[in-house]
Amino acid sequence: MERPKPDRLTLSPLLRGETHRVLHLALSPEQDRFVAPIEQMIGESDPTVDFHIGIVDQEPVAFFKIDRDYRPKISTAPLDACGFEPNDLGLRGMLVGQQFQGRGYGKAVMAQLKPYLSGLYSARHVFLTVNCRNPAAIHLYKNGGWEDTGQLYLGGRSGPQHIFRLRLASP
């Protein structure tokens, strides 16, 4: 059987009533300290958080959340020093299922993220925090066009986190 190619990945919103579609996305043992299990992530009921998926051949291989009210969630982070603006977004819970890792899907999500989010949201930037001890994720984000702001968020569940920013719209 031919292995699906990352260039066939598309991003799409995931409706709350369709969250069963991502329950198969597993965490690798090294991810569980950085990302919550998918069951916990889809259990979030905050109406300012939108769910999104990366799909290949109609099968979800990746999941992430876009938080339209990000600042209160990480209120102790130095967001003002990072250039955070009132309409800016937060990317949370980025996950490529363990069974789909090593196929370039994380890179494909990053390649499509900027135009995808720019088409859905009126924001200048999207921010995320990534654990300082998660080199694979740091590498993925940096290669995906994210900028390390040089600031740290100290409220992460597994220790200090870098604050990264991706510019969506021109100034």
CATH number at residue 134: 3.40.630.30
Whether pLDDT at 1 is above 60: no
pLDDT tens for each residue of 138-152: 999 999 999 999 999
18 domain residue, yes or no: yes
Distance CA 77, CA 80 (A): 9
| Number of independent structural domains in the chain | 1
Model confidence at 101: pLDDT above 50: yes
Residue 33 has pLDDT above 80, yes or no: no
pLDDT band at residue 105 under the 50/70/90 scheme: very high
Pair of tokens at residue 42: 């889809």
What mean pLDDT is predicted for residues 8-22? 96
- Report yes or no on 104 lying in a domain: yes
Average pLDDT for the chain: 91
Is residue 1 in a domain? Answer: no
72 token code pair: 């209160």
Model confidence pLDDT, tens digit, residues 66-100: 999 999 988 888 988 999 999 999 999 999 999 99
What sign results for the dihedral spanned by CA atoms 81, 82, 85, 86?
negative
Range of the domain at 40: 6-167
Flag whether 34 is in a domain: yes
d(C-alpha 6, C-alpha 39), whole Å: 25
95 located within any domain: yes
Contact (CB, 8 A) for 61 and 96: yes
Indicate whether 147 belongs to any domain. Answer: yes
Distances (CA, A) of 73 to 1, 20, 27, 38, 122: 43, 25, 23, 19, 20
Q: For the whole model, what pTM was predicted? A: 0.92
